[in-house]
Structure 1
Amino acid sequence: MRTAVCPGSFDPVTNGHLDIIKRTAKMVDKVIVAVLYNPNKNPLFTVEERRTLLGEVLKEIPNVEIDCFSGLLVDYVKERKIDVIVKGLRAISDFEYEFQMALMNKKLSPEVETIFMMTNNEYSYLSSSVIKETCKFKGCIDGLVPDKVKDALIKKFE
């Protein structure tokens, strides 16, 4: 059974994230969407809130599992016996950072492969940060995040 991980902070999950996850789910037997707990960041949503939102918006895809982790991704991948890391790319600037991380992961764990997947053009400008800022100042985020995420964002900024 081939298993992939789509790691990220997902604070919040966007339609760009969902595009990558759904396409990955078509290519492998199982996708683990792994929410990163990073103590150096100050997220809007807790890890559990992000996990719950992901579970709600991905519940229709039977081969997707939602999990959380902290620490090194390669350690998580080894522990869960994951075959491949899938990283979404929006632009060249994403590639530079993700390429560096992939090389470091390869150094730490040579058996782990990383696949880069370009997001759909429709979502190439989206980031969780842009979504949060737009929502905070009451801008329209329709079509950029699932409705459940939109509702949760609005509630956070009330």
Structure 2
Amino acid sequence: MEIRVNGKLRSVPDDGGTPLLWVLRDTLKLTGTKFGCGIAQCGACTVLVDGQPIRSCITPVESVGTSPVTTIEGLSGREADAIRAAWTSIDVPQCGYCQSGQIVSATALLSGVRNPDDPEIDSAMAGNICRCGTYSRIRAAIKSAAASLSTPA
């Protein structure tokens, strides 16, 4: 089977029912995407498929086909750069385990909504659990990134 990950078409020997998470981590050695709960409740395994955040722990690899999959390793562009800069500037992570899923979800949000309000942030980030409770810093980083995107490049 072939899947397109981070811009490259890759051949993988995995069974079609294998969760995308394990294909990414075990077969393709892209370990930035984390295993948290295995039931799509924590968000640590979030990746983008066709630009939309999905939980890779419950997504069979066959359901992806050759739609573009973007992991934290392949996240790029103005929104991703703004999110990373804000994350660093505001010191968002504590343990960091959830951060790849948080960053992927936040980048997807800013790709669609340039200046999100609190309810839009809450909706986009729902299901991304931070066991350290850095939600206020996550929200502040998203707002900071959005503000930086409103200035000319």
TM-score, normalization by structure 2 = 0.25
Larger strand fraction of residues: 1
TM-score, normalization by structure 1 = 0.24
